[in-house]
Each structure stands twice: as C-alpha cells, then as structure tokens.
Amino acid sequence: MEETRCFVSSKLILAYMVTIKARRRADGTFRYTAIVRQRVGKAIVYRDAKTFTYSTAAVSWAKHREVELEKAGAEALRKRKPVPLAELIRWYIDTFQPISQWRRSKQTHLEYLERHPIGQANALTLTTAALIEHVRSRRAAGTGPATVINDLIWIGVVLRAAKAIRELPVRPDIVREARGACRELRLISKPRKRSRRPTAEEITKLREYFKRRDRRARIPMGAVIEFAITSARREAEICRLEWLDNDSEGRTGIVRDAKHPTAREGNHRRFRYTREAWAIVEAQPRNDRYIFPYDPKSIGAAITRACHVLGIRDLHFHDLRHEATSRLFERGYQIHEVAQFTLHDSWNELKRYANLKPENLRDLGPSPAHRDLDDRGPNDIIVPRKPARVVHRSTAPDLSH
C-alpha cells in the first residue's frame, strides 16, 4: 500500500512530499515506512525516512517532520540577505521593458513604486499586512482608490516574475490576499466611469491660447487639439500616424501597434478619418515620416499647462477622445460605424466614451437617408422612431477600407 500526499509551504515555496509504503512481512503482518522528501522545483533537496508498526504512527511522524523542516526553512529565510522590493522592480524593468515595450503608464507606476518607501521592504519577508498598510497610507495621503489598486497589481507582477525566473522564495499570493482585504475595507475600487467633456467655452479658450502660443512653439497644439476632437485618436496614436499609411480614396489611415490588453505589438488597424480630421492632416507639412512628429509626453504636458493658465479644471487630453466619440454619435452614426473611427472592439468598451448630452437630441427628420452624415452639425443626434430598424440599417456613408 502506498499513499502519496503533497504539502506546500506557504513561506518557503517548497514542496513536501510524504509517501507511506506498506510492506508485508513473512508472518503476515505489515510494517509502514514514511518517506519525507523536500523539493524545490523538480529537484529533491532533502530526504528522510522511518519505519513503524502502525500506519497512523507513520503518518503522524511524517506530518511532524514536515512542520520541523518548514520551521527550519523559515529560520534560514529570516537569516538570508534581504532583497529590497525596489531591487526586484529595477531588475524587472531592465530585463523586460526593452523586449515588451510596455506603455508609459506602466513604466511610470513601476518607477514610482521603486522610489516609494514600500520599495525598501524586504521582498522575501513581505507580508499581507505590510501591503494593506501601504494601501491605507496612500489613501490617507489623498490617492484615489482606483490608483492604489495599481500598486498591488504591479507589485504582484514583479513578485511572480521574481519567483518564476529568479526562483526567489517570495510570496505572490500575499497580493491576492491584500486585494481581498482592501476591497472589504473599501480602500480600493474599480475606476469610476469618466464622463468629462470640454464645454464649448473651454474649447474656445484653448483655441485662442494655442493660437497665440503656436507662433513661437515647435508643436502646433491648435492643430493637434482640433485633430483629437475630430478623429478620436489618443495622443500616442496621433504621434504614430504615418503619411504612407493614409488612403486618400477611402479617407483612412492606420494606427500601428494599436492599444490592446495582451497583443499590442503588431496590432496594426485601419481606421476612418472624418472630413474635418482629413482636412487637418492634409494641411500639415510633409517633411517627416510621421504626420505629427512630436513626443506625446510634450503634447500632454502642453494641454496640462494650458488648462492651469486658463483656469480649466479637471480636463485631460484623453477627454478629447470622449468628446470626439460623443460627437460621432450625435452626428447620427450607429455603434458599428463609430467603431470604424475609434477602433473599439465592443460596445462595452465604446459606451464608456459615449457621453451624450440630452440637450443635443432632436427628432428624426423626414428624409435622413438622403443627408450626408459628415455634413451634420456637431450637436445633431437622431432619435429613431423604430430602434430595431436603425440597429440593422446604416444611414452613414460607406466605411469600407
């Protein structure tokens, strides 16, 4: 008779395998041998065995021996040279960023954690309680619940990489435990839906500000903002658009390495320009590979400074994408047609950007099918009398590539 059980240490990331073997003796009775093996990965690093008359005694000895080994391992871990979390974060950045080419938001957050006091914590002995205290202190300092949850996400990513690749005895599971506790304590939460759209007055202020500024600035921010409002492109996408990818007949372009949760690299997608966005593109000088050959960080910083000078509160560059998407709906485009401009894959993603204004609603005209959607006013929206027909009938121009 043989019974094999596996015990996994929660502190040392070691596997303890206990095997009970029964051997029949000549007189018909049994002797039971308990074998305890300690494994790191696939390698057996320790083995111990003892034989008993009764199976219950063999099982009891094996359990006690496993506990002794775990305690000894924990003591050795405490005596081991500390590995600061900041050191693991820097290793993770230097090792994988050149290959993965992740986005600026991830890089910024990792570097913030590297500089934060949590980065000085010993990653080998990091506990759930320490992570919860980190979240609590961040919230007490005024950080939002949706921002703090990213701290736990990236710490977990680093710990999992350190465990899998460097085989360090770290505990990625503490992140899951901390997230559960913080959620119950309401210290973290999912991001709230943002519905901010710039007002007509705010857009006018920005236009006038950049009209004065662009005379001496390298980046024509006036054109960039107008393009963002009429194209629904992110600032990073705007700076990656290439002249060679434009198709004048179909009035389309390509977003290279379009945003995707898992497969951004090589995810090149063709999109539709509005007439206004196409006119802005055609007005740009053709002296570079890119239509807008600028640093997206500089574009974001420019609008942040402008809003500060003009007293415009809580307006981000990404809000212009919300404005552009909402205008497309208000011009009468249907869901699948708007997606050809914005490149959203599903309605669940797209509806976050559809922040329509009730005051822009109007009744369906007598002959909407004969009206060019690109000629509609920016505040027009069709309210169909029979929604089912509108879902399956396109009233917009042909959007084929």
What is the helix (H) or strand (E) element at residue 89, kind and residue range? helix 85-100
Torsion angle, alpha carbons of 368, 320, 144, 94, to 10:
120
Is the distance from CB of 143 to CB of 183 less than 8 angstroms? no
pLDDT class for 242, splitting at 50, 70, 90?
Answer: very high
At 199 the three-state DSSP class reads coil
Q: Per-residue pLDDT for 286 more than 60?
A: yes
The answer as to CATH 3.10.310.30 being correct for domain 200-392 is no
Buried b (16+ CB within 10 A) or exposed e, 276-301: bbbebbeebeeeeeebbebebeebbe
Q: For the chain, how many residues are written?
A: 401
Query: Do 343 and 255 meet the contact criterion of CB atoms below 8 Å apart?
Result: yes
Answer whether residue 3 shows pLDDT above 50: no
Distance CA 141, CA 151 (A): 14
Residues 373-394 have pLDDT tens digits of 454 454 443 333 444 444 444 4
Residue 139 Cα distances to 43, 186, 189, 260, angstroms: 44, 10, 12, 29
pLDDT top residue among 137 and 46: 137
Exposed/middle/buried for 135, CB within 10 Å: 0-12, 13-18, 19+?
buried
Q: Are 214 and 275 in contact (CB under 8 A)?
A: no
Identify which has the larger pLDDT, 300 or 386: 300
> Which tens digits make up the pLDDT trace of 119-154?
999 998 899 999 999 999 999 999 888 889 999 999
Check whether 175 has a pLDDT greater than 60.
Answer: yes
Distance, CA of 82 to chain centre: 30
Distance CA 47, CA 153 (A): 38
User: Where do the domains of the chain lie?
Assistant: 2-79, 85-184, 200-392
Q: For residues 42 and 3, which has the higher predicted lDDT (pLDDT)?
A: 42
**How far is the C-alpha of 219 from the C-alpha of 253, rounded, in Å?**
21
Banded model confidence at residue 344, pLDDT cuts 50, 70, 90: confident
pLDDT interval class at 192 (50, 70, 90): confident
Please measure the distance between the N-terminal and C-terminal CA atoms of the chain and give it in whole angstroms: 69
The more confident residue out of 310 and 192 is: 310
